[in-house]
């Protein structure tokens, strides 16, 4: 296989990798925020359910979770899962990352000084206004470095989709390596991942700078 | 007419009773100072008056409307919904630690609530905010962020923020305790100016001479009860042993 063919195949894998990445980010960040509300809930039932969920997501391998999400509909209901590969991957990544993001949101929300809530209350802000206008913007600034960490990990974790034989970049690279007995695709894949994360880090740093106008 | 009436207020934190049957009232245009040692409950009574703490007994009345009362079974009922909103719009609070919103500019700190909570006309609010900032000597700082200001400037912004809501009564919870003597003078000047305009105020403070000078009435609190309540002159010539001992310590410091 020529180098350019290999690059073409890896690039089309990269498109799918990017797809997993963006879908997971778009879905897991808001889900994580809501999970963190459940985690901080005064309702003990809800709080404990969420605690167990987070514990399972963090305590078992992501690869295993992906396989479970993918095979469960077949094992439980005998459903045809051939077209379920991509949704299974997105669901698996989303519920896993939402658990991590939830804990990051919680740490940020719980670190907010009570005086901010009190000042908002005295000025008549409703609870939702207080959260959206006063608390959340400050929380985002505080947790941004931790979010960056998770996002960078996610870029690399997308390679776990190979376990469901989804043709993202790492799966493609592995196949070419096995077929052509060359190591080059792995090196190219490494460069792709690195450049991707370089861009991610650059963008996140830009956000951090934008929020550095106050302390 | 009394703007605020608090009758037989009780407040406990767990088994610790911090407010023991306190009653007080504030008339329109009056300036009441509350003094007393740390832990006497003076900040707590302010936090009860501003609904930051829920009382365990008694009643709180603003402009004749009951914000909270104790029913026949002994449980405290707070006003809810629109009625609570209306009652809460009567008062403002200036915190010891300012509690400005760090991500908002000075101008936005002052104008956001009047515009988005009180739904007032933007132009009017901005004009009022500019007037207030001018009064505070901070007009040139309108676009600054709180972290770019000194403690005294931050506290003046927080006073402007409270005033822009047009409260009928303004509470100060040790407004100068986080400031050095020079910055303290800045804040006391602002409060003195407000006193000249007959703003109704309740001030919890450790600045004895200031309390003596600016108030119409002083309450001396200790261990959750009012030890003495009288005019500044009488307070500082009190025959009460406890009052004498407390104020004596301050005199000796000077």
Distances (CA, A) of B90 to A130, B84, B205: 20, 10, 22
Residues of A in contact with B93 (CB under 8 A): 122
- What is the model's pLDDT at position B116? 97
Residues of A in contact with B85 (CB under 8 A): 124
Entry pTM: 0.92
CB pairs under 8 A between A and B: 54
- What is the model's pLDDT at position B69? 96
**pLDDT per position as a tens digit, A170-190:** 999 999 999 999 999 999 999
Question: Is B103 an 8 Å CB contact of chain A?
Answer: yes
CA distance B96 to A136: 24
- List the single best residue of A112, A121, A123 to mutate versus B (max B Cβ within 10 A): A123
- Pick A1 or A139 by higher pLDDT: A139
- Picking from B51, B103, B147, the nearest residue to A138 by CB comes out as B103
What distance in Å separates residue A148's CA from the closest CA in chain B? 21
CA distance A102 to A147: 11
Inter-residue contact A193 to A157 (CB < 8 Å): no
DSSP A163: G
Whose CA is closest to B33, among B130, B172, B197, B238? Answer: B172
Q: Please give the residue of chain A at the shortest CA–CA distance from B102.
A: A214
Residues of B in contact with A129 (CB under 8 A): 116-117
Using 50, 70 and 90 to split pLDDT, how confident is the model at A73?
A: confident
Using 50, 70 and 90 to split pLDDT, how confident is the model at A76?
A: confident
- Inform me whether the pLDDT recorded for A162 exceeds 80: yes
Residues of B in contact with A133 (CB under 8 A): 112, 116
Give one DSSP letter per residue of A47-89, joined into a string.
HHHHHHHHHHHHHS-HHHHHHHHHHHHHHHH----GGGHHHHH
pLDDT in tens, chain B (254 residues): 899 999 999 999 999 999 999 999 999 999 999 999 999 999 999 999 999 999 999 999 999 999 999 999 999 999 999 999 999 999 999 999 999 999 999 999 999 999 999 999 999 999 999 999 999 999 999 999 999 999 999 999 999 999 999 999 999 999 999 999 999 999 999 999 999 999 999 999 999 989 999 999 999 999 999 999 999 999 999 889 999 889 887 666 54
What distance in Å separates residue A125's CA from the closest CA in chain B? 6
- What is the model's pLDDT at position B254? 46
- What is the model's pLDDT at position B222? 95
What distance in Å separates residue B1's CA from the closest CA in chain A? 23
- What is the model's pLDDT at position A82? 82
Distances (CA, A) of A117 to A128, A134, A136: 11, 8, 12
- What is the model's pLDDT at position B217? 96
Residues of B in contact with A120 (CB under 8 A): 101
Calculate what percentage of chain A has a pLDDT beyond 70. Answer: 100
CA distance B136 to B139: 8
CB atoms within 10 A of CB B157: 26
Residue B206, helix vs strand vs coil: coil
Inter-residue contact A153 to B142 (CB < 8 Å): no
Question: Is B179 an 8 Å CB contact of chain A?
Answer: no
Taken in order of first residue, the domains within chain A and their CATH numbers are: 15-163 (1.10.3720.10)
Residue B67, helix vs strand vs coil: strand
- What is the model's pLDDT at position B253? 57
């Amino acid at each position: 296989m020529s180098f350019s063919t290999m690059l073409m195949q890896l690039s089309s894998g990269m498109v799918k990798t990017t797809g997993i990445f963006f879908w997971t980010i778009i879905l897991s960040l808001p889900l994580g925020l809501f999970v963190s509300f459940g985690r901080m809930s005064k309702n003990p039932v809800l709080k404990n359910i969420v605690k167990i969920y987070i514990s399972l997501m963090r305590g078992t391998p992501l690869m295993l979770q992906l396989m479970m999400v993918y095979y469960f509909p077949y094992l439980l209901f005998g459903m045809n899962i051939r077209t379920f590969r991509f949704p299974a991957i997105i669901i698996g990544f989303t519920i896993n990352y939402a658990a991590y993001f939830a804990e990051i949101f919680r740490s940020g929300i719980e670190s907010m000084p009570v005086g901010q809530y009190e000042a908002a209350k005295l000025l008549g802000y409703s609870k939702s206004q207080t959260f959206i206008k006063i608390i959340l913007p400050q929380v985002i600034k505080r947790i941004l470095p931790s979010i960056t960490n998770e996002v960078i990990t996610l870029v690399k974790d997308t390679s776990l989709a190979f376990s469901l034989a989804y043709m993202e970049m790492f799966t493609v690279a592995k196949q070419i390596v096995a077929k052509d007995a060359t190591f080059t695709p792995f090196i190219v894949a490494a460069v792709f991942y690195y450049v991707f994360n370089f861009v991610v880090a650059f963008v996140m740093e830009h956000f951090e700078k934008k929020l550095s106008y106050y302390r | 007419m009394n703007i605020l009436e608090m009758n037989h207020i009780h407040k406990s934190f767990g088994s610790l009773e911090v407010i023991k049957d306190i009653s007080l009232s504030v008339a329109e245009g009056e300036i009441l100072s509350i003094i007393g040692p740390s832990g006497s409950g003076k900040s707590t009574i302010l936090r009860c008056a501003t609904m930051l703490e829920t009382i365990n007994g008694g009643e709180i009345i603003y402009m004749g409307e009951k914000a909270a009362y104790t029913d026949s079974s002994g449980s405290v009922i707070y006003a809810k919904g629109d009625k609570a909103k209306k009652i809460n719009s009567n008062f403002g609070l200036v915190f010891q630690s300012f509690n400005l919103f760090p991500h908002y500019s000075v101008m936005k700190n002052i104008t956001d609530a009047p515009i988005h909570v009180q739904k007032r006309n933007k132009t009017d609010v901005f004009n009022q905010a500019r007037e207030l900032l001018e009064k505070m000597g901070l007009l040139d700082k309108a676009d600054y962020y709180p972290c770019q200001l000194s403690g005294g400037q931050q506290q003046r912004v927080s006073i402007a923020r409270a005033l822009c809501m047009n409260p009928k009564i303004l509470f100060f919870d040790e407004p100068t305790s986080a400031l050095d003597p020079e910055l303290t003078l800045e804040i006391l000047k602002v409060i003195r100016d407000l006193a000249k305009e007959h703003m109704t105020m309740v001030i919890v403070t450790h600045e004895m001479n200031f309390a003596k000078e600016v108030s119409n009435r002083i309450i001396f609190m200790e261990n959750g009860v009012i030890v003495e309540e009288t005019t500044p002159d009488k307070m500082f010539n009190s025959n009460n042993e406890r009052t004498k001992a407390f104020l004596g310590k301050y005199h000796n410091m000077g």
